[in-house]
Amino acid sequence: MAKIVAVTGNEAVANALKQVNPDVCAAYPITPQTEMMQRFSSFVSDGKVKTEIILVESEHSSMSACVGASAAGGRVITATSSQGLALMYEILYIASGTRLPIVMPVVNRALSAPLNIHSDHSDSMGARDTGWIQLWSENAQEAYDNTIQAFRIAEHMDIRLPIMINLDGFIISHSIERLEYLDDDQVQSFVGEFKTLNPLLDLDRPVSYGPLILPDYYMEFRKAQDDVESKVSGVVLDVAKDFEKLSGRTYGLFETYRLDDAEIALIILNSAAGTSKDVVDEFRDKGIKAGLLKPRLYRPFPYKEVGEALKHLKAVCVLDRADAFGGSFGPVYMDIATSLYPYKEKPVLINKIFGLGGRDYLPEHAELVLNELVGLTKTGTVKSYKEYIGVRE
Amino acid sequence: MKLKNWKEVTPGAVITEAGSSAKFKTGSWRSSKPVWIEENCIQCLFCWIYCPDMAVKVKDGKRAEFDYDYCKGCGICALECPGKKGNKAIIMVEEEK
């Protein structure tokens, strides 16, 4: 395999999964994830991986099959988008509550209705409280790198939680980018051999999965799961350190871009962060202290670290590619607001909803928002805390 | 039994001890209880075969007393009991009586 290649995001992630060579894959096709699993099933058919592929009749079934295979003691993957993730909803909680380290790339797509196949984040944002770890990726390289790191994070003996790797539908999944692959044996030694925890197929040590837990114990299991959440960010950082030694590419809980001495900043997930960084540079060239923060580990959310990184700013705008219907704000805004709440001195915080259903996010949108933030640092008067941008009025 | 705290429970509520359900006594679920009338019993052991739990005990090939720790009072044994000369060897009695 060529080390530097031009590939789509779907192809990059499919190759990461091939290099890991998992035991079981149970998946159902859905746009824009289809190409990823089609490529992976070709690897199975061509004997490039030893994975057992299970063809299922729905995503509810694919996640159920993943739960069974993972409990049995296998390294298990699937992938989905949008309605597929929504159909998995019930089983997502079973996977996390049973502490099964299933790895699932999610190619982010809008939710119906109205029906739409293009990118936004409403699918994974709807699953943000399901107990799955979520990593978000700006481009194909990050999606590839995150996928490889995801196995180490999810399977860590202190964690044992399922994990989703998010990448933007079409914008990343179907666009061709330059990408650096690691060698197969590098990936193999990085992820290591799968270690089981109480596997169902160990006949010498029989175990039962999925018992009824009544009011006398249910809270203890929930508290134990909450405690695991607090350990995830440490493991994510350790795995990132090892990955950097291997690849030379640096990852953290989030990426900061020209943020340290900034006065205003944008907070934005995934592909739109790339566009925003260019505009931040333009503002810097004009002498305006602009910066950016791009979350990577979104669940569990590193509230403390994000709060520390943002508290010195004067004005911040959180750009959400999903709305959280409920009369309040976009999901990322609510997390950032929670991060900043403990501080006495904190930036003015506004929210923009953008790019829903694949609506283009253009440099002029970032400019508009940054100019508004500049105004806010002068006047301090907020016109509106939440607003849709790029929408026809 | 002392209840475990949250640090002591197994990840994902997996039960690592085989056969531990025997520790969970379910007899308190019962609202009516089966009563064995030995003189009507022909020792067919249908009750033992049909019991969906293991609440009918057999000793030396013969019908023994119910295990009320696990009997949930479903009444299947009483229904299936052929009895002797039209008289049932198992009848259901309301628990509070």
A219 contact residues in B (CB cutoff 8 A): 6
Which B residues 38-77 touch A at CB under 8 Å?
A: none
B23 contact residues in A (CB cutoff 8 A): none
Q: What is the DSSP string of A27-86?
A: E---TTTHHHHHHHHHHHHTTSS-PEEEE-SSHHHHHHHHHHHHHHT--EE--B-HHHHH
By percentage, how much of chain B surpasses pLDDT 70?
99
Q: Strand (E) positions, B1-97?
A: 32-36, 56-59, 62-66, 90-94
- Residues (pLDDT < 70) of chain A are 1-2
Confidence category of residue B97, pLDDT binned at 50, 70, 90: low
A97 with B4: Cβ contact below 8 A: no
A67 contact residues in B (CB cutoff 8 A): none
ipTM of the complex: 0.90
How many whole angstroms separate alpha carbon A202 and alpha carbon A193? 17
pLDDT in tens, A345-392: 999 999 999 999 999 999 999 999 999 999 999 998 999 999 999 999
Domain spanning B26-94 has what CATH number?
3.30.70.20
Q: Where are the domains positioned within chain B? A: 26-94
Q: Which candidate in B14, B23, B24, B26 is best for mutational testing of the A interface (most A CBs within 10 A)?
A: B14
How buried is residue A200: exposed, middle or buried, by Cβ count under 10 Å (0-12/13-18/19+)?
middle
Q: Where are the domains positioned within chain A? A: 4-247, 254-388
A207 with B14: Cβ contact below 8 A: yes
Q: What pLDDT was estimated at residue A46? A: 98
Which B residues 4-33 touch A at CB under 8 Å?
A: 4-7, 9-16, 18
Assign a CATH topology to domain A254-388: Rossmann fold (3.40.50)
A211 with B3: Cβ contact below 8 A: no
b/e code A299-322 from CB counts within 10 Å (16+ = b): bbbbbebbbebbebbbbbbbbbbb
B13 with A211: Cβ contact below 8 A: yes
B6 with A209: Cβ contact below 8 A: no
Q: What pLDDT was estimated at residue A266? A: 98
Domain spanning A4-247 has what CATH number?
3.40.50.970
b/e code A106-145 from CB counts within 10 Å (16+ = b): bbbbbbeeeebbbbbbbbbbbbbebbbbbbbbbbbbbbbb
Q: What pLDDT was estimated at residue A48? A: 98
Of A98, A219, A220, the CB nearest to B12: A98
Average pLDDT over residues B51-55: 94
Shortest alpha-carbon distance between residue A206 and chain B (Å): 6
A217 with B7: Cβ contact below 8 A: no
B6 with A219: Cβ contact below 8 A: yes
A209 contact residues in B (CB cutoff 8 A): 12, 14-15
Of A206, A220, A228, the CB nearest to B18: A206
Q: What pLDDT was estimated at residue A2? A: 57
B15 with A211: Cβ contact below 8 A: yes
Q: What is the pTM of this model?
A: 0.93
Q: Taking Cα atoms as reference points, which of A384, A375, A386, A358 lies closest to residue A171? A: A358
Q: Which candidate in A221, A226, A230, A231 is best for mutational testing of the B interface (most B CBs within 10 A)?
A: A221
Q: What pLDDT was estimated at residue B27? A: 93
Shortest alpha-carbon distance between residue B1 and chain A (Å): 12
A198 with B4: Cβ contact below 8 A: no
Please indicate whether the domains covering A4-247 and A254-388 agree at the CATH topology level.
yes
Tokens 């060239």, located at residue: A285
Q: Taking Cα atoms as reference points, which of B88, B92, B74 lies closest to residue B42? A: B88
**Total beta-carbon pairs less than 8 A apart between chain A and chain B:** 51
Shortest alpha-carbon distance between residue A196 and chain B (Å): 13
A221 contact residues in B (CB cutoff 8 A): 6, 9, 13
